[in-house]
Amino acid sequence: MNFHSNIMTETPDMDTMGGRLLRARDAKSMSVAQVAERIGVKSQTILAWESDRSEPRANRLVMLAGFLGVTPTWLMHGIGQAPVDSAEDETTINMELRTLKNYHEKLGDRISQLEDRVATLKAA
């Protein structure tokens, strides 16, 4: 039986909405001022949301989720796409870089082999 995670089977992130917002902002390495400017509110508004003194309206919540790389349901209820840790991103990128460098080296070797064959054919 193939099981896929869904809203009913996921374990919710039990942090507060403000705590999740702060973690998502940190994962993107953005300052309070940068987030505030991006969605058109004051820094104090972001700080109020992060300290759970108030909550964003639906339109701001959707904007926040979009550029922070999370789902609105994760911000509000802790269920859905959470932020990707920047350390995890770096590891993934480094692994892909190593793979591509390996392919690059193999491709260079194959190009040299083919050039040698062409040169041999021209000499014949």
Q: Say yes or no to pLDDT of 101 above 80.
A: yes
Give me the pLDDT at residue 36, please. 95
The whole model's pTM is what?
Answer: 0.61
Write out pLDDT tens, residues 58-95.
Answer: 999 999 999 898 999 989 988 887 877 655 567 777 77
11: in domain: no
1: in domain: no
Q: Which two tokens stand for residue 113?
A: 């082999």
Within this chain, do residues 70 and 91 fall inside the same structural domain, yes or no? no
Q: Say yes or no to pLDDT of 116 above 90.
A: yes
Within this chain, do residues 21 and 73 fall inside the same structural domain, yes or no? yes
Q: From its phi and psi, is residue 104 left (phi > 0), alpha (psi between -120 and 50) or beta?
A: alpha
29: in domain: yes
Give me the pLDDT at residue 81, please. 77
R_g (Cα) of the chain, nearest Å: 24
CA dist., res. 64 & res. 50, Å (int): 12
For the chain, what is the domain count? 2
Within this chain, do residues 63 and 99 fall inside the same structural domain, yes or no? no
Q: How far apart are the first and last CA of the chain?
A: 63
Q: Say yes or no to pLDDT of 5 above 60.
A: no
7: in domain: no
What integer is the mean pLDDT of 102-108? 88
User: Helices 58-68 and 17-27 sit at what angle, rounded to 10 degrees?
Assistant: 30
Q: Say yes or no to pLDDT of 122 above 80.
A: yes
Give me the pLDDT at residue 119, please. 92
The domain of 123 spans 85-124
